């Protein structure tokens, strides 16, 4: 009886252990199933947020999945992808384009990068453009110096402004502004030098013109003096007059030369008065100033001035005679 009882108790105890074990297994299995569902839900929602560019929400969902299973490979890779992409955006905003390019290539190694492939390609294109511009800025100084040496200041200013309008890091903008200040200073100095040269040229021209004017004035005086001497003394060397008659046409030419010099605009139109006598015979002429000096017939235009001259028939003396036009 005692053995049978002990045997029965052993069977009951063993049975209870089995039942408890099964219950524990079922509970644990149920928990694992629930957790797996939660993980999958968080990952799916996180991917949705990731593709919709809701990166903070995506990061939160992937973190929830890892809180349930900290060794879950997919959640771990997706969280890393999200965090590194957020870091990439910060680098781009801070204009650290070189670091941004390196990080993009690292992100492309993540096997889940296809979820953000479009954004990575877009940012990479912009980053490569910025890096190309930075390389150009690094090499722009030689080009600017060449333009300065060729006095092509505006071309250099336009080139610098092209890069200043780009969204570059402060280091490059500072370099461009320094180059701009330098080229503006050179441009100002060049323009001032050109002004000085132009002023000196104008002064030299004025001085030369004044010298030419004085020479011409002196030449005119000399010519007038020579002509006066010729008309007053050429007919006599010892106080004797040369009894040489001057014909009317010769007298006209002698008078006309004096009129052109002393009364510009008068002649060659004239009226002849023939011989007048005031002591000695003199040829008399009235020279006219016409409103239209190009007419063939004096009657076709208006006479706006008259001046009278006589020429000594023997000595050739030319003399203005106001009484001829009164």
User: Tens of pLDDT along 14-69?
Assistant: 777 776 766 665 545 545 566 789 899 999 999 999 999 999 999 999 999 999 99
Give the CA distances from residue 22 to residues 10, 13, 150, in Å, rounded to whole numbers and listed in that order.
18, 14, 94
The residue-averaged pLDDT of 294-315 equals 86
Predicted pLDDT at 189: 92
CA distances from 17 to 4, 6, 12, 122 (A): 20, 16, 9, 62
Q: Which two tokens stand for residue 98?
A: 């070189």
Q: Which of 138, 142, 148, 126 has its CA nearest to residue 174?
A: 138
Whether the pLDDT of residue 240 is over 80: the answer is no
Distance separating alpha carbons of residues 38 and 91, to the nearest angstrom = 34
How many C-beta neighbours within 10 Å does residue 82 have?
26
pLDDT in tens, 76-103: 999 999 999 999 999 999 989 999 999 9
Q: Mind spelling out the 3-state secondary structure of 272-307?
A: EEEEEEECEEEEEEEEEEECCCCCCCHHHCCEEEEE
Q: What sign does the dihedral 83-87-93-97 (CA atoms) show? A: negative
> pLDDT category, 165, cuts 50, 70, 90?
confident
Structure tokens at 221: 């005086």
For the chain, give the number of residues.
326
Beta bridge partners of 284: 274, 310
DSSP 179-205: HHHHHHHHHHHHHHHHHHHHHHHHHHH
Which pair of structure tokens corresponds to residue 147?
């333009």
Contact assessment for residue 138 and residue 151, using Cβ atoms and an 8 Å cutoff? no
Judged against a pLDDT cut of 70, whether residue 234 lies above it is answered with no
Rounded Cα distance, 140 and 160, in Å: 9
Encoded tokens for 323: 């009484």
User: Higher confidence at residue 138 or residue 5?
Assistant: 138
pLDDT at 206 (0 to 100): 83
Q: Are 254 and 234 in contact (CB under 8 A)?
A: no
Whose tokens are 């004085």? That residue is: 214
Quote the CA–CA distance of 64 and 37 in Å, as a whole number: 12
In this predicted structure, the answer to whether residue 242 has a pLDDT above a threshold of 50 is no
């Amino acid at each position: 009886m005692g053995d049978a009882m002990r045997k029965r108790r052993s069977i009951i105890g063993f049975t209870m252990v089995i039942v408890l074990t099964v219950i524990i297994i079922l509970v644990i299995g149920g928990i694992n199933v629930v957790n797996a569902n939660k993980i999958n839900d968080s990952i799916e929602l996180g991917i949705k947020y990731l593709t919709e560019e809701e990166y903070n929400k995506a990061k939160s969902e992937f973190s929830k999945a890892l809180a349930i299973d900290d060794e879950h490979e997919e959640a771990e890779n997706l969280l890393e992808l999200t965090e590194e992409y957020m870091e990439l955006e910060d680098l781009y905003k801070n204009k650290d384009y070189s670091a941004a390019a390196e990080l993009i290539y690292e992100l492309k190694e993540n096997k889940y990068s296809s979820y953000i492939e479009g954004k990575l390609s877009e940012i990479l294109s912009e980053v490569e453009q910025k890096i190309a511009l930075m390389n150009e800025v690094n090499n722009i100084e030689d080009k600017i110096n060449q333009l300065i040496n060729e006095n092509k200041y505006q071309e250099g200013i336009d080139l610098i402004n092209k890069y200043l309008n780009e969204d570059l890091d402060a280091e490059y903008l500072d370099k461009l502004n320094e180059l701009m200040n330098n080229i503006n200073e050179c441009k100002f100095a060049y323009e001032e030098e050109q002004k000085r040269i132009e002023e000196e040229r104008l002064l030299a021209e004025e001085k030369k013109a004044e010298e030419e004017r004085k020479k011409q004035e002196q030449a005119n005086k000399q010519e007038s003096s020579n002509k006066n001497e010729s008309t007053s003394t050429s007919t006599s060397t010892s106080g004797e007059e040369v009894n040489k008659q001057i014909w009317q046409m010769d007298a006209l030419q002698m008078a006309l030369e004096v009129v052109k010099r002393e009364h510009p605009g008068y002649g060659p139109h004239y009226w002849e008065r023939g011989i007048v006598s005031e002591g000695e015979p003199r040829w008399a002429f009235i020279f006219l100033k016409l409103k239209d000096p190009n007419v063939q017939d004096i009657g076709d235009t208006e006479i706006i001035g008259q001046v009278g001259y006589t020429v000594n028939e023997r000595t050739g003396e030319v003399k203005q005679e106001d009484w001829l036009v009164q």
